[in-house]
């Protein structure tokens, strides 16, 4: 039996087939299986076929993420919405702890920062070596990059950086690209909780299927 047949709903499987048929010829050529899974699931979650060209993967990032997830690494998100979207897949696969950094955020934003950035700083101290998802707050992504750059925390095995919007977003994505960290990123102003959750859920699914097939 194909492990995916017991893991996926038929509607999901049919959706992936339709997405692949609708993509331009060659859109997925050369992508390793985990990267293909991420592209397809992000498109499935957004309904936006153009995201196939906007997603970028650093070399080895997905593999590093797969290994960390298999080992039970915690997953940190910048929003409660993303955490809620990831928690069911994590529970269904490797039981990874899933936390929103807002769990450690102050009730009010610091004068020169945001609640997400303040929460990220504390979360990284408590959960080093986590897979980190940023789909909303570029300030949280910048805080992560600063903490790693100053060697206050170890480099995460994977950063999924897709903050959405217009204020500070382009800059934070550029800084992530320049950081040398293992990363999955989305160019432009698009992003959001649903997309970062889709990306890590694709990796959780792939890691689980690979294990089941081995």
* Spatial contact of 202 and 37, defined as CB atoms under 8 Å apart: yes
From 44, 56, 99, 127, the catalytic residue: 44
Distance CA 139, CA 10 (A): 39
Catalytic residue list contains 56 = no
* Contacts for 165-169: CB closer than 8 Å, 24+ residues apart: 165/136, 165/138, 165/189, 165/191, 167/138, 168/138, 168/139, 168/142, 169/138
75 beta partners: 98, 131
* Active centre residues (catalytic): 44
């Amino acid at each position: 039996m194909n492990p995916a047949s017991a893991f996926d709903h038929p509607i999901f499987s049919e959706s992936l087939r339709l997405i692949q048929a609708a993509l331009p010829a060659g859109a997925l050529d050369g992508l390793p299986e985990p990267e293909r899974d991420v592209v397809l699931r992000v498109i499935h979650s957004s309904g936006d076929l153009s995201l196939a060209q906007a997603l970028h993967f650093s070399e080895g990032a997905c593999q590093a993420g797969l290994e960390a997830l298999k080992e039970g690494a915690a997953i940190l998100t910048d929003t409660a919405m993303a955490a809620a979207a990831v928690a069911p897949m994590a529970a269904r696969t490797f039981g990874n702890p899933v936390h929103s950094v807002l769990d450690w955020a102050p009730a009010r934003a610091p004068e020169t920062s945001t609640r997400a950035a303040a929460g990220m700083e504390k979360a990284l101290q408590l959960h080093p070596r986590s897979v980190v998802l940023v789909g909303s707050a570029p300030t949280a992504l910048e805080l992560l990059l600063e903490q790693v750059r100053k060697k206050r925390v170890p480099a995460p095995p994977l950063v999924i950086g897709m903050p959405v919007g217009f204020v500070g977003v382009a800059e934070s994505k550029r800084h992530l690209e320049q950081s040398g960290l293992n990363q999955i990123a989305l160019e432009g102003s698009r992003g959001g909780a649903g997309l970062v959750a889709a990306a890590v859920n694709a990796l959780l699914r792939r890691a689980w299927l690979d294990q089941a097939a081995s």
